[in-house]
Chains A and B, each alone.
Chain A
Amino acid sequence: MKTNDVILQTVTKIVLFIIVLFSIYLFFAGHNTPGGGFVGGLMASGAIVLLLLAFDVKTVLNILPINYINLAGVGLFIAVGFGAGSFLVGEPFLSHAFDYFELPLLGKTELTTATIFDLGVYLVVIGVTMTIIQTIGETE
């Protein structure tokens, strides 16, 4: 008998965006409040896992055509590249800089290069988690 997943799928479509937004919130909140790249990344992969539960592997691959191993590679590259970027200005490896800017909508905001490192962590966590889950899910 074919089961009908219409409730699960409909709820997923709504909840997914809330989870992704929460993940992005956690990512940016990490500097001054609990959060950061690691939990943010886990939360984002949680959203994709929910998608995998509601639909199947093929459909999710159509929605998000991402090679997750390469995504992890890109994340690592961003993190290490940020560290090496401090060479260019003659500072020690992994030095970071910050300043305050007047941004439209947000007003006076502190922008720091450590966020770039965190973005790398975020992508690595998504890449690694999804690789593990997809690989186990696909093997017979």
Chain B
Amino acid sequence: MNNFIILPILIPLLTGILLIFFNKRFAVQKAISLLAAASSVVIALCLVQMVYTEGIQSLYLGGWEPPFGIILVADQFASLLVLTTSIIGLAAVLYSFRTIDRERERFYYFSAVQFLITGVTGAFLTGDIFNLFVFFEVMLMSSYVLIVLGSTKIQLRESIKYLLVNVISSALFVITVAYLYALTGTLNMADLSVVISENGQTGIITVVAIMFLVVFGLKGAIFPMYFWLPGSYYAPPSAVTALFGALLTKVGVYSITRVFTLIFYHDTGFTHQVLAWLSAFTIIFGVIGAIAYSDIKKIIIYNILTAVGVILFGIAANTSSSVLGSVYYLVHDMIIKCALFFLVGAIAIITGTNDLRKMGGLIKNHPFLGWLFFVSAISLAGIPPLSGFIGKLKIVEGGFEAGEYAISMVVLLSSLLVLYSVLKIFINGFWGEQVMTTEQEKGNTKGMLLPIGLMAGLSVAFGFGIELVSPYFTQAAEALLNPEIYIQAVLKE
């Protein structure tokens, strides 16, 4: 019983509500958002430390005990993701100050951002499968607003597609939950796990597991359900794409991880094998997209797919090191995708184009931006001292342990192509002949370097301080590998 763990949901929610009243007072809006985002980071840090020292925390909403009431559970996996989310929220708010125009701010931009963060943290912290659906909707509704806000032609077109796909997948989510409820008679995740392990994972339960894979795969963009993502993420401004790329797909990944480690872990021979092959194809299609385009935003968007595939392969391999690797890689990827979308947004503002062939020699006038991009790029690919390395290492190690040699090789080879795709931006954009003089540039980096530096610096610190943070990640992976820990903490006899 701990009211503290609702604060990461409550703070952005109350802030979002408060901002509704200040839609024409820009300075007040910014001050409130910044204050709330900063305090969320502090709260999330306390939460991580609290879970580390005292074990899994839970809160029975309204005082109703599980499995009868809704329950919030903060295990270390969820707490780490909440912390990452709050940091990304802070960086995105800072980045929006400079890149989002007045017209958008007047139409409740900052409210929508806060509601998006409410949905994401809620989805991480909930311990109830229908409540997870509700938080998904909170998150998606805000993302509909953010994707269409500004109503340029491309945004209108892509938001129709985005909305259509997500409405269908949400309907499928409800149907799947209905099936599960009919089979088990409970909605609490820990109780579901108990009921399924008592009655055995029958064929129909495996069908439901695959339906969940389709639902969360549509949200998290895995092969072959990723088709909506490249277009939709291309439409909104960079600050919004950074939020989407860093948070939305990761909630789908988180949900897959949660249901396949907590609820459906009895028939791994079938479900996890399906997941492993789907993630392999996700990686392959992701890198194909990433090397095919010469549009900087598209390249980073396709890299989201690759990362989703890598993380899910770690879950599918289901060994202790691969799950640990997935937790590392998930946190790393959220940070680095946010940094990269900020960076390509900054480049697009300077050059006025997303086309790689129309830029060059940026490093002459923007050395700091250039090196930040370089560090982020090699961190994304997983060069040893940086943050992407340890996660991928553990995933591949676990993959070999599990005997998935082919897919592990795909993961390794994908790193090479990912590196090629981002260094292509660096080499063509930053090196070479200078295309624009300072006067010809369409904008400057004023106010953007701080959030970019924050995220890139965090990624570097994460890589170098891996020894320092590894106890937290080990604790997170332990609870994923042993569902009994989670169930014990929630149901507590």
Contacts and interface: CB of A to CB of B under 8 A. Distances in A.
Interface of A: 69-70, 72-73, 76-77, 80, 84, 87, 91-96
Interface of B: 1, 3, 6, 10, 13-14, 17-18, 20-21, 59-63
Contact of A93 (B3, B14, B21): B3
Contact of A73 (B17, B62, B63): B17
Nearest to B17: A76
Contacts of B10: 80, 84, 93
A93 B63 CA distance: 8
Contacts of A73: 17, 20-21
A70 B62 CA distance: 28
6 closest residue pairs by CB, A with B: A73-B20, A94-B62, A76-B17, A95-B63, A93-B6, A94-B61
A70 B20 contact: yes
A96 B63 CA distance: 9
A93 B70 CA distance: 11
A95 B62 contact: yes
Nearest to A75: B17
Nearest to A91: B63
B61 A92 contact: yes
A92 B59 contact: yes
Greatest chain A CB density within 10 A among B3, B59, B60 is at B3
Given A80-B10, A80-B14, A84-B10, A92 B3 contact: yes
Contact of A92 (B13, B17, B63): B63
A95 B59 CA distance: 11
A96 B69 CA distance: 13
Contacts of B59: 92-93
B3 A87 contact: yes
A29 to B, nearest CB: 22
A105 B18 CA distance: 38
Contacts of B17: 73, 76-77, 80
B13 A80 contact: yes
A72 B19 CA distance: 12
A123 B384 CA distance: 55
